[in-house]
Amino acid sequence: MPVTDQAFVTLATNDVYSKGALVVGQCLRQHGTSRQTVVMVTQQVSQSARAALAHVFCEVREVNMLDSLDCAHLNMIGRPELGVTLTKLCCWTLIEYTKCVFLDADTLVLCNVDELFDYDELSAAPDPGWPDCFNSGVFVFRPSLQTYDRLLRWAEEHGSFDGGDQGLLNSFFSDWATKDISKHLPFIYNLSTIAVYTYLPAFQQYGRTAKIVHFLGAVKPWHCKYERQMRKVSLGDGSLPHPHLGPFLSLWWVVYCQSMDSSFTATDTWQEPV
Ligand code: UDP
Ligand code: MN
């Protein structure tokens, strides 16, 4: 039975990140989630990208950070670096849902992960760079306008120690590391690809149990070149961002092509992958 008051949520503020969001939605669908799926988009996302997203998500929701800022928050308008960060916070405004799971647009869901809804706010997996911080690419939360407002005020007063949503959320949910171990998601729900470099033997031992892969960092799957016939992924110079990630990158491209095939119509002008 579909669960109508719980949702997976992702975010795309432009057409490039929409490619990632498309894969998130397609994976959730393919793995038969019983939850709703929502992609938050901002006005920069083109109509054709939205049309493609509408094929795989239950809802394409336009969010506009500045609309929701009241006078008390006007100071933040002069802080463009917090733009995407603050847009991510809009997920707390999805109050028709009682519980949600946020997934970055650069994640790849490998199986059904509906059990994430058994966790409570704020549950997340450790960040491989500083494990007393959670990584904000995958987290369980409860939409609430009150929490949203508190988060905005927090952002206004304290900013973000890393300039992004992860610094902000970690300082806001500051007892995550120590208070309640039941809010620590296993690392396999947010296998940051960076961990492959830092602890290769653990990746070799446990990598196959991964449920969600996160292409954290500057090089995203959509930056790679894909030869569809050969199913070959590479960077422009023929190299791979990391050889151990080859299967995950290929899978990302397979899913991306599937989602384009099912949503692409002759009238669409959204660029084919390059
Ligand atoms: N994002 C976006 N547009 C941007 C940058 C980020 O929509 O220009 C969203 C997208 O959902 C992305 C998330 O914010 O997955 C976090 O950014 P990113 O994944 O690039 O950061 P990383 O995980 O590499 O730290
Ligand atoms: Mn990410």
pLDDT tens digit string along 191-212? Answer: 998 888 889 999 999 999 999 9
39 CB within 6 A, ligand 1: no
- The alpha carbon of 220 and the centre of ligand 1 are apart by a number of angstroms equal to 10
- The CB density around residue 128, as the number of other CB atoms within 10 Å, is 21
Q: Which of 31-35, 142-146, 162-166 has the lowest mean pLDDT?
A: 162-166
Tell me if 45 sits within 8 A of 24, measured CB to CB.
no
Q: What confidence category does residue 232 fall into, taking pLDDT thresholds of 50, 70 and 90? A: confident
Report pTM. 0.93
- Per the listing, tokens 């509408």 go with 54
Closest atom of ligand 1 relative to the 218 alpha carbon: 24
Closest atom of ligand 1 relative to the 166 alpha carbon: 25
Beta bridge partners of 107: 214
Exposure string over 229-249, b if 16+ CB within 10 A, otherwise e: eeebbeeeeeebbeeebeebb
137 CB within 6 A, ligand 1: yes
Does the predicted interface ipTM exceed a cut of 0.90?
yes
Prior bond of 108 cis (ω within 30°): no
Q: Smallest Cα–Cα separation from 221: which of 196, 208, 198, 240?
A: 240
Tell me if 232 sits within 8 A of 177, measured CB to CB.
no
- Sign of the CA dihedral running 43, 44, 46, 51: negative
